[in-house]
Chain A
Amino acid sequence: MNLHFDVEGGEFISAGVASSKVKKVLKQLAIQPEIIRKISVAMYEAEINMVIHAHGGVIDAEIMPDHVHVVLKDEGPGIENIELAMKAGYSTASRLAREMGFGAGMGLANMKRYADILQIESEPGKGTTVEITVKLYPEQA
């Protein structure tokens, strides 16, 4: 099953629509709650990053029999130093974002923690593509 979402930038209000939709679908498929949490938290963090940093973008979520693969693509400013960005606590978020409880510098750390496979490709000035893969039945892998 493929789900496509367009995410608007700067819209804190609508952020989370895509991840909550994917969560609902997985719930209907009776996937284990811990697995659903892994996928939806990793995806929500990536979605929020798109809103905070990159004026939005597009998300494609592919739900396969044994895994979920989510691609989040934006044409934002890109990440200059991915290694530094991955460091827990490092953040470039705006004051507004921080006041709302975002920008703790935990987004990428959470994605890494919850995704089984996390791939980030970024080019400064061009944009960022984040790919998150989570296995649905890890005990069988």
Chain B
Amino acid sequence: MTINDVQTILKATVVTQSLYENNEVLSGFVGDLLSVVMGKAKEQCAWITIQGHINIIAVGTLINVGCIIVTEGFKVDEDAIKKANEEDIVIMTTQLSSYEAAALLSRDGLE
């Protein structure tokens, strides 16, 4: 599944500037505790979280995240967006819950 597909499926709003259309995500991961994400999330995953602060970029970079999906309408901090643009990380936001977002991506075939 491409990041573009993820955005379309979730009708999410991309808040970063990095180009992403054909970049692939290989799996999904839901987690708000950063250590758990670092310990368990796979490379190039679509990471679903309610955290919107700058440390998600550090974690995203360390795990080579595919994209970050911030759910429940949580705002992404300005400094996080700036950092994401520097690190070429894609962040999108949605009003959906983490469960709903995961269910939609799973239904369309994301592991």
- A: which residues have CB within 8 A of B? 12-13, 15-16, 19-20, 23, 33, 37, 40-41, 44-45, 48, 100-102, 104-107, 109-110, 113
Given the interface pairs A104-B34, A104-B35, A106-B35, the reply to whether A16 lies near B58 with Cβ below 8 Å is yes
Interface centre among B39, B58, B59, B79, by most chain A C-beta atoms within 10 angstroms, is B58
Contact residues in B for A33 (Cβ distance below 8 Å): 43, 64
Q: How many residue pairs between the two chains, A and B, have CB atoms under 8 Å in the bound complex?
A: 68
- B: which residues have CB within 8 A of A? 32-36, 38-39, 43, 49, 51, 53-56, 58-59, 61-64, 79
A110 in contact with B39 (CB, 8 Å): yes
A101 in contact with B51 (CB, 8 Å): yes
A20 in contact with B51 (CB, 8 Å): no
> Within the complex, which residue of A13, A15, A41, A100 is in contact with B38, where a contact is CB–CB below 8 Å?
A41
- 9 tightest CB-CB pairs across the interface, nearest first? A16-B58, A106-B35, A104-B33, A101-B34, A104-B35, A40-B62, A41-B38, A101-B51, A110-B39
B58 in contact with A44 (CB, 8 Å): yes
5 contacts between A and B (CB under 8 A): A16-B62, A37-B63, A40-B62, A102-B33, A102-B55
Given the interface pairs A37-B62, A41-B62, the reply to whether A106 lies near B36 with Cβ below 8 Å is yes
Contact residues in B for A107 (Cβ distance below 8 Å): 35
Main secondary structure on B side of the interface with A: helix
Contact residues in B for A19 (Cβ distance below 8 Å): 58, 62
> Within the complex, which residue of B33, B39, B53, B61 is in contact with A12, where a contact is CB–CB below 8 Å?
B53
Interface centre among B55, B56, B79, by most chain A C-beta atoms within 10 angstroms, is B55
A37 in contact with B58 (CB, 8 Å): no
Contact residues in B for A102 (Cβ distance below 8 Å): 33-35, 55
Contact residues in A for B36 (Cβ distance below 8 Å): 104, 106
Given A16-B58, A48-B55, A104-B33, 7 extra CB contacts under 8 A: A13-B54, A15-B55, A23-B62, A100-B51, A100-B55, A102-B33, A104-B34
Cβ distance B81 to chain A, nearest Cβ, rounded Å: 13
Cβ distance B52 to chain A, nearest Cβ, rounded Å: 10
Q: In the bound complex, how far is the Cα of B57 from the Cα of A15, in angstroms?
A: 11
Contact residues in A for B63 (Cβ distance below 8 Å): 37, 41
> Within the complex, which residue of A101, A104, A109 is in contact with B55, where a contact is CB–CB below 8 Å?
A101
